[in-house]
Amino acid sequence: MRKLICYILILSNLLFNGCVEKSVQGTKSEGTRNYVVYNIGKSPEDLIMLNNHDFRQQDLLINLFEGLVTSDEKGKIKPAIAESWSLNKDETCYTFKIRKTATWNNGEDITAEDFVTFFSQVLNKDRDNVYAKQLYCIFGAEDYKKGKGDFSNVAVRALDEKTLEIRLNYPCNYFLNILAEPIYSLRKINEDLVSWKKNYKNILYSGCYKIDNILDNGDARLKKNEEYWNNSSVKSEDIMVTFIDSSEASLAAFESSKIDIFTNPPISELSNLSASGKISKIPFYGIGTLVFNLRKEGVIQDSNLRKSISAAVSRKEISKEALNDTVKPATAYIPPNVSDGMNGQYLNKEIFTVEPEKAKALDLISKSKYENNKEELKLIYLDSVENKKICDTIAKQLRENLKLKVQCKGYSLEEFSQVIRENDYDIAKVNYESSYDYPPSFLERYTSESEMNLFGYKNAEFDTRVERAKREKDMVKKVQDLREAENILMDDMPIVPLYFTNSVICKKNNIDGIYTNKRGNIKLDKVYIKVEA
């Protein structure tokens, strides 16, 4: 049951809110503090962060630690602790040169051996790591993670103090995209990261900031890491990070100038915030979907019914009316502007319409086994204001366009997990999020062996196409496999994409320099308070 709940958390962007507002030291008038305050939301349990997909909490990782490479807001891979890298002729061996100026915050050199230790800890068989399979492209990594042998059999080696070699099983042109994710930021994985609010002074930091103090209310004061190799580019000496886990409480703190930056305000307040020029929408790799329960016998097994539901929904209405234009209608299984693994963009194919196709929907349902007024479909969702609005909108659309009878029911997380485990539903509204910037990462969760495929979809040809696309070196053949994989999903319709998600960032008008990586993680190294002349 616990494992199932874990995967439900991975699959879903939870919209639950807390109810406690925390105070922040400083004055209440905008522009009088000499440091920026960023509210990150729910406080992380630890700074290891390998056991969940909470990308917002990873904002701490990306500012306290740094990896071999990083990515900019357009997804281009940039040098980080590694000043350069080279690739052998068959594209299976990366050699990274660690900067001579790269040091921990205590002044000790960061070495290639530090990365060897880091990867051995990340892949340890006893480590709860939902990302581990990403690294199975490394020779020996899968066997080591499964407890077969020690790390000496894994092809991650320190050639000398400042040279790291990583050898792969096959050409993997998205390997750097994986390494650019915040979870691969270099840190010493130990008890200090587990009890970080207590042991923050013992932690070694490799990024642009370090934790200088934890306030009595749990907020964290970050201070510029003077030993960071690129510290001259860091704008602010101090940053305060707060942990208000409620959109309403965050907005109240924002309006009283207790915080300067926060994300995802209440949908009802977006118009006012937008009019004042205080919000921006940043795409990140999340997808709102309807998923069909293919482990359940009955009419939901009919692909014509599933296709008719896809054709009958108005993605435009869901995005514009239910979610106040905070998202973009999904016209494909893969979002736009995803990396092609070569510092370019994958050219996506639009396969869904934003408006309902009523004639097509009616033709499809006429070919299905569904009999009007004799069966009621159960649509479940994680209970939140937004999810209820979405599902009520969908039920209305299906009733009007197809005469379908749909019962919508919201559940708490544990109840939702129980309903899925017991197969007591027909359709589930679920949000997915890709864990790295590459097309197959959006499709592989639907493969038969995926631990995130909780809904019973199985197609051997689809599995083959996705796996082959991950390994294929020829870009033309890779795209062919991806296109065919999408065609298979279209024909089977186990899942209906509804919208691509955005991260809505609110900031005071006197705050400048905020930017994100392509996944939406907020970088604070360029943030500062503008002083008006």
pLDDT in tens, 301-331: 999 999 999 999 999 999 998 888 889 999 9
Verify that 493 and 460 share a domain, yes or no. Answer: yes
Residue 23 included in any domain:
no
Whole-angstrom distance, CA of residue 71 vs CA of residue 181: 8
Verify that 272 and 319 share a domain, yes or no. Answer: no
Verify that 175 and 77 share a domain, yes or no. Answer: yes
Residue 192 included in any domain:
yes
Window from 184-188, 243-247, 337-341 with minimum mean pLDDT: 337-341
The token duo for 348 is: 């996506």
- Looking up tokens 């050219």, which residue turns up? 347
The answer to whether residue 16 scores a pLDDT higher than 90 is no
The answer to whether residue 271 scores a pLDDT higher than 90 is no
What one-character DSSP code corresponds to residue 109? B
Whole-angstrom distance, CA of residue 338 vs CA of residue 500: 12
Strand partners, 465: none
Residue 21: pLDDT band with limits 50, 70, 90: very low
What one-character DSSP code corresponds to residue 103? B
Residue 373: per-residue pLDDT: 58
Residue 393 included in any domain:
yes
pLDDT digits (tens, 9 = 90+) for 82-106: 999 999 999 999 999 999 999 999 9
Verify that 458 and 388 share a domain, yes or no. Answer: yes
How many helices (H) and strands (E) in the chain? 17, 21
- Give φ, ψ of 203 to 5 degrees: -70, 140
CA angle, residues 96, 62, 211, in degrees to nearest 5: 115
The answer to whether residue 466 scores a pLDDT higher than 80 is yes
Verify that 312 and 248 share a domain, yes or no. Answer: no
Overall size of the chain counted in residues: 533
Residue 25 included in any domain:
no
**pLDDT: is 140 or 325 the higher one?**
140
Residue 343: pLDDT band with limits 50, 70, 90: low
- Looking up tokens 């492209």, which residue turns up? 137
* Mean predicted lDDT score pLDDT of the chain: 89
Verify that 263 and 341 share a domain, yes or no. Answer: no
Cβ proximity of 449 and 189 under 8 Å = no
Verify that 331 and 476 share a domain, yes or no. Answer: yes
Whole-angstrom distance, CA of residue 327 vs CA of residue 45: 29
Verify that 266 and 292 share a domain, yes or no. Answer: no
Residue 14: per-residue pLDDT: 36
Average pLDDT score over residue span 189-206: 97
Verify that 63 and 48 share a domain, yes or no. Answer: yes
The token duo for 29 is: 């008038």
Residue 188 included in any domain:
yes
The answer to whether residue 13 scores a pLDDT higher than 60 is no
Half-sphere exposure of 253 (CA within 13 A, CB side): 31
Q: Domain containing 240 — which CATH number?
A: 3.40.190.10
Verify that 237 and 353 share a domain, yes or no. Answer: no
Verify that 231 and 365 share a domain, yes or no. Answer: no
| SS3 label, residue 164 | strand
- Residue 482 structural domain: 284-502
Whole-angstrom distance, CA of residue 390 vs CA of residue 397: 11
The answer to whether residue 213 scores a pLDDT higher than 80 is yes
Average pLDDT score over residue span 216-237: 96
- Give φ, ψ of 433 to 5 degrees: -140, 130
Residue 27 included in any domain:
no
The answer to whether residue 7 scores a pLDDT higher than 70 is no
Q: Domain containing 387 — which CATH number?
A: 3.10.105.10
Residue 24 included in any domain:
no
Residue 468 included in any domain:
yes
The token duo for 40 is: 């990150």
Whole-angstrom distance, CA of residue 409 vs CA of residue 112: 52
Residue 32: per-residue pLDDT: 64
Verify that 497 and 513 share a domain, yes or no. Answer: no
Which residues 6+ apart lie within 8 Å of 487 measured at CB?
A: none
Q: How many domains does the chain have?
A: 2
Residue 437: per-residue pLDDT: 79
| SS3 label, residue 439 | coil
The token duo for 100 is: 């001579």
Residue 273: per-residue pLDDT: 86
The answer to whether residue 506 scores a pLDDT higher than 70 is yes
